[in-house]
Amino acid sequence: MGIVFRDETFRDDFTFKNSPEHIRRFPFPFHEDSYMYAVNIEPHVPGPKGSVLENLIDVDEHYVSEMRDRALVLAEDPLRCQSLPHMTLAGWDLLELLMTEQAKGYPEHFSLTRDGDKWHWINRPLGIDHHFVFGDLTTLPYGPMEYITRQSQGDFCILDQRDGNLWMDAGIVTTQADWSLDFDIGMNFFEWHAPVPLAHEKGIFTRALKFLTNIQQGKPARRLNWTMTINPRLDTSPENYHKWGADRATVTPENVGQKVHLRVELQSFWRLPRSNAMVFPIRCYLIKMDELVTSRKWARRLHRVIRDLPEELATYKGLTLYRPTLVEWLARYDDGAETSPGFGPD
Amino acid sequence: MAVKSIISRPVYGTLSPQPGSDHLLIADAEGAAAILDLAKSAPADFFAEAEIVFIPRDTGEKYIAALKALQPARFYEGPSIAAALPRLRQRLSTAHMGLRLYLTGTEGLIGQAMQAALEAGIDHKSIQTEQRGSLARRVQCVHCKGITEDVTTQPARCSHCGLMLLVRDHYSRRIAAFQGVCINAEDPSQVPPMEEMFK
C-alpha cells in the first residue's frame, strides 16, 4: 500500500494539515514535562513500524506538496542552495544515499537501477524517470546535491571535516527555523551556532562536535530539536522574516488551535563514503495545536514545557509575543494528571 | 578595543613583526598608528621588502609622512577600500608562500582584506590583525543581501531596501559583514529610536 500524497500549501491559504495517522506518528520531542538543552544524540537506527523512524529517510503524505514549496522558494531566492567548489563529490555521495534509502523504504514510489556508473532513477510521485551517469555533471539538470534534494523532504547541510572541525560548505535550506545558509556557509561548527544562547556555556557544542566528528560510515546518529511556528509555514527563513514576522502578532485565544504549530526537526548525521564529509538532514514536522491536543498526554506535557521554559529560550525561539495566549489555551487541556514516561501519545 | 561577545565575532590582536622578508601591511585611518607602533619593535630590515597599502579616510595627511618615513619597498595610498581591493586581489593571487599579512584599522577594512586573502587561499589564522579607530560595522541585510558600510547606529537602516535592521554580533568572514535582521517585523508600526552604538 502506497502513501496517499496530500495536495496542500505551506503559504498563502495554508491548507496543510495532518491525517489522523500522521498525528499519531508525529515525533513529539519531549520525554518529560520540562525542557533544557542536552546533547540528546542517539544512533539513527530504524524504529517501530508506522513511526517516522521506520525508514531512516522518512517520506510522508506531505512529500509532493513540500517539494512544490521548495521549488517556489528556490525560484524566488537561488541563494538557498549553495555549494562551495570543493563539495561536488559530497553532492554525489548524498545523491547516492538519498536515492538508495528512498528506493529501499518506498519501492512502490521510487526505484534505482545501477549498471556500473549508468544509473536509472524513477520517482513516481514527482513523475521523474531519468537515466544518468553517476559522477558526470552533464547528465543532470542541476548539481547532484540540488538534483536529489529537490526530491527529498527536509533541509540538507553538507559539512566538510578538516582541522578537527566541521565546516558548513554546502546545503539546501528552504524550510529552516530562522537561520541563513547564505550567511553561515563556510563557517565552522562553533561559528554557525554562535547565536544560540546558553548552550555554549554548558559545553554542549564541544561535546557534540567531538561526537559528530567520530561518526562512521553506516552508523548514522540523530537528535530532535523543536520550535514553534505561526501558520504551517515551511519557509520561516530570516530572508523573509520581514514578511512572516507579523504573523506572530495574529495569535488570539480563538485561533491558537489552527494557527500555532509545534515544529520538530529530526536531525540526522551521516558520514559520506567518498568525500568523508558529513551530511546533516534537518527534517521538519509540523503539527497544529488542535491536532496535538487529540493526545491528552501531549497536551498536558506541552502546556508544562511552554509554561516553564526559561525566558532566554523563549526569546530565542521567538515565542515571546504569543506565549501567554498559548499557555492559557493549553491550560484548558491540562488537568494536572501525571504524564507517562517517554515520547508516545499513549 | 571591540568586546568579544559571541564565537563568530572576530577577535583582534596586536600587530607584531613576523619572521620572513615578504610583508604586506594593509591599513585604513587610525590603523596607520598600529603600523607605526609595530615598526618600533621591528628588525632594521623589516620594511626593506615590505609593502604598505594605506587608505587614509578621514585622517587625511596625518600619517602619510610617517608611514613613508618607514621606507617600505612599495607604498600605495588609496582613496577608498573599494578602490584598493582589485589591486589587493591581484597582489594576493600572485603572492608566494611565506607572505606575511598584517591588517589594521576599521573592522570593515580588516574584514574585506581578510576576505580577499581567504579567496586567495591564505589561512585566516596566519593573518595578523589589530582593530584601531572607528568601531563602525559593515552589515549585510539578510533580506535583500545588500551591504551597508560604516554602520554606527543600532538599529540601522539598510541603504539598499530601507528596512530597519537589528545589527547582530553574528559575523561572516566569507561576506566580511555582520548580519542585519529586520527589527520591527513583528510590528512594522513600531520604529525604535536609532542610537550611536559603534563609534
> What is the share, in percent, of chain A residues with pLDDT greater than 90?
88
Contact yes or no for A183 and B168 at CB 8 A: no
Task: Give per-residue pLDDT as tens, B38-79.
Answer: 999 999 999 999 999 999 999 999 999 999 999 999 999 999
For residue B158, the distance in angstroms to the closest alpha carbon of chain A comes to: 13
What sign does the dihedral B84-B90-B91-B93 (CA atoms) show? positive
Nearest to A150 by CA among A218, A103, A99: A99
Which residues on A lie below 8 Å from B163 (Cβ)?
242
3-state class (DSSP) for residue A264: strand
Same domain as B160, residue B89:
no
Tell me if B40 is assigned to some domain.
yes
CA–CA gap between residue A103 and residue A108 (Å, rounded): 8
Same domain as B101, residue B155:
no
Contact yes or no for A186 and B9 at CB 8 A: no
Same domain as B142, residue B127:
no
Q: What is the DSSP string of A76-130?
A: H-GGGEEE-GGGHHHHHHHHHHHHHHHHHH-TTTEEEEEETTEEEEEETTTTEEE
CA–CA gap between residue A291 and residue A19 (Å, rounded): 9
Contact yes or no for B173 and A186 at CB 8 A: yes
What distances in angstroms separate CA B33 from CA A196, A272, B130, one per listed residue? 37, 49, 11
A16-23: average pLDDT: 97
Which residues on A lie below 8 Å from B182 (Cβ)?
241-242, 245
Q: Which residues of A have a CB under 8 Å from any CB of B?
A: 79, 180, 182-187, 190-195, 200, 238-246, 248-249, 321
pLDDT value, residue B32: 98
Tell me if A131 is assigned to some domain.
yes
Contact yes or no for B8 and A191 at CB 8 A: yes
Instruction: Indicate if the pLDDT at residue B4 is higher than 50.
Output: no
How do beta strands B74-77 and B51-55 pair? parallel
Calculate the CA dihedral of residues A168, A174, A178, A182 and round it to 10 degrees: 40
Question: What's the mean pLDDT when you consider all of chain A?
Answer: 95
Q: Which domain holds residue B74?
A: 23-131
3-state class (DSSP) for residue B49: coil
Q: Give how many domains chain B has, as a whole number.
A: 2
Same domain as B126, residue B66:
yes
Same domain as B108, residue B78:
yes
Helix H or strand E segment including B174: none
pLDDT value, residue A1: 63
Q: Is the ipTM, as predicted for this complex, more than 0.90? A: no
Which residues on B lie below 8 Å from A200 (Cβ)?
7
Same domain as B141, residue B57:
no
Same domain as B126, residue B37:
yes
Which residues on B lie below 8 Å from A183 (Cβ)?
140, 142, 170, 172, 175, 179
Same domain as B191, residue B124:
no
Lowest mean pLDDT among A38-42, A290-294, B160-164: A38-42
pLDDT value, residue B7: 85
Same domain as B174, residue B112:
no
How far separated are the first and last CA of chain A, in Å rounded?
26
Domain closes at, from B77, B108, B131: B131
Task: Give per-residue pLDDT as tens, B69-124.
Answer: 999 999 999 999 999 999 999 999 988 888 999 999 999 999 999 999 999 988 88
CATH number at residue B83: 3.40.50.80
Q: What is the DSSP string of B90-146?
A: HHHHTPPTT-EEEEEESHHHHHHHHHHHHHTT--GGG-EEEE-S---EEEEETTT--
Tell me if B13 is assigned to some domain.
no
In degrees, rounded to 5, the angle at the alpha carbon of residue A201 between the alpha carbons of residues B139 and A313 is 70
A17-24: average pLDDT: 97
> What is the share, in percent, of chain A residues with pLDDT greater than 70?
99
Instruction: Indicate if the pLDDT at residue A294 is higher than 50.
Output: yes
Same domain as B144, residue B103:
no
Q: Are A143 and A91 in contact (CB under 8 A)?
A: yes
Q: Give how many domains chain A has, as a whole number.
A: 1
Q: Which domain holds residue A33?
A: 20-331
Asked if the peptide bond before residue A141 counts as cis, ω within 30 degrees of 0, the response is no
Lowest mean pLDDT among A75-79, A293-297, A316-320: A316-320
Tell me if A338 is assigned to some domain.
no
Instruction: Quickly count: other Cβ atoms within 10 Å of residue A309's Cβ.
Output: 18
Task: Give per-residue pLDDT as tens, A51-92.
Answer: 999 999 999 999 999 999 999 999 999 999 999 999 999 999
pLDDT value, residue B2: 39
Same domain as B32, residue B73:
yes
Domain closes at, from B131, B165, B186: B131
B127-149: average pLDDT: 96
Which residues on A lie below 8 Å from B143 (Cβ)?
238-242
Cell of B75: 607604498
| B118, B119, B125, B143, best to mutate vs chain A, most A CBs in 10 Å | B143
**A11, A25, A223, A300: the active-site residue:** A223
CA–CA gap between residue B42 and residue A333 (Å, rounded): 73
Tell me if B16 is assigned to some domain.
no
Q: What is the DSSP string of A194-213?
A: TT-TTTTTTTHHHHHHHHHH
How do beta strands B51-55 and B23-28 pair? parallel
pLDDT value, residue A321: 93
A3-8: average pLDDT: 98
Specify the higher pLDDT residue, A252 or A198. Answer: A252
pLDDT value, residue B199: 85
Same domain as B144, residue B91:
no
Tell me if A337 is assigned to some domain.
no
Using the structure block, give the residue that is written with the C-alpha cell 538599529: B155
Domain closes at, from B108, B131, B154: B131
A135-154: average pLDDT: 98
Task: Give per-residue pLDDT as tens, B8-20.
Answer: 888 999 999 999 8
Tell me if B27 is assigned to some domain.
yes
Instruction: Quickly count: other Cβ atoms within 10 Å of residue B45's Cβ.
Output: 9
Instruction: Indicate if the pLDDT at residue A39 is higher than 90.
Output: no
CA–CA gap between residue A160 and residue B50 (Å, rounded): 36
Q: Quick check: is A223 catalytic?
A: yes
A139, exposed or middle or buried, with CB in 10 Å at 0-12, 13-18, 19+? middle
Residue A205 sits at φ, ψ, to 5 deg, of -75, -35
Tell me if B123 is assigned to some domain.
yes
